[in-house]
């Protein structure tokens, strides 16, 4: 049985395709299948292979990969030819587990300004009364 549902706000412009790739490769990383096509519940069947899935609405970023379905599928499939760097995997996991924003510093600052509150995870630990700790919080 799985844990609680977790999510985070994602800067679509810079991270949508990276996160899509991360999600599509989860069953592969978990050792459940060898390829995303082998996982029957994957949206990869629609995005890379063109299978119609009525529950799936293509994102504008995906639609921007090409002017035809074939072009989009080819471009999306090409994204899977390389590996996802470890630091990127960690960034996605941290954002999800801490319910933080995944995006550029500019995007995070824009969201903080719109909400009028801090949205990035703060530092933990240390003597909160010390000057060094208080200086880090600025």
Give the rounded percent of residues in the chain with a pLDDT score beyond 70: 84
Q: Identify the pLDDT of residue 126.
A: 58
Is there a contact between 24 and 42 (Cβ–Cβ < 8 Å)?
yes
Average pLDDT value for residue range 72-91? 92
Chain-wide mean pLDDT for the chain?
Answer: 86
Q: Tell me which of 60 and 137 has the higher pLDDT.
A: 60
Q: Which range, of 24-38, 73-87, 91-105, 115-129, averages the lowest pLDDT?
A: 115-129
Q: How far apart are CA 135 and CA 52, in angstroms?
A: 54
Cα angle 119, 110, 24 (rounded to 5 degrees) comes to 70
Residue 16 has pLDDT above 80, yes or no: yes
Neighbours of 61 (CB within 10 A): 14
* Each residue's pLDDT tens digit, 44-53: 999 999 999 9
Average pLDDT value for residue range 58-85? 94
Q: Which range, of 7-16, 45-54, 105-114, averages the lowest pLDDT?
A: 7-16
Q: Identify the pLDDT of residue 38.
A: 96
Q: Identify the pLDDT of residue 79.
A: 92
Q: How far apart are CA 65 and CA 92, in angstroms?
A: 22
């Amino acid at each position: 049985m799985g844990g609680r549902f977790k999510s985070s706000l994602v800067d679509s412009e810079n991270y949508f395709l990276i996160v899509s790739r991360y999600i599509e490769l989860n069953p592969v990383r978990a050792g459940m299948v060898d390829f995303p096509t082998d996982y029957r519940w994957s949206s990869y069947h629609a995005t890379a292979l063109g299978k119609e899935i009525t529950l799936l609405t293509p994102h504008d970023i995906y639609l921007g990969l090409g002017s035809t379905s074939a072009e989009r599928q080819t471009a999306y499939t090409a994204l899977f030819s390389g590996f996802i760097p470890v630091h990127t995997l960690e960034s996605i996991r941290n954002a999800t587990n801490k319910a933080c924003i995944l995006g550029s510093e500019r995007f995070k600052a824009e969201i903080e300004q719109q909400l009028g509150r801090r949205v990035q995870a703060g530092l933990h630990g240390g003597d909160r009364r010390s000057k060094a700790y208080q200086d880090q919080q600025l």
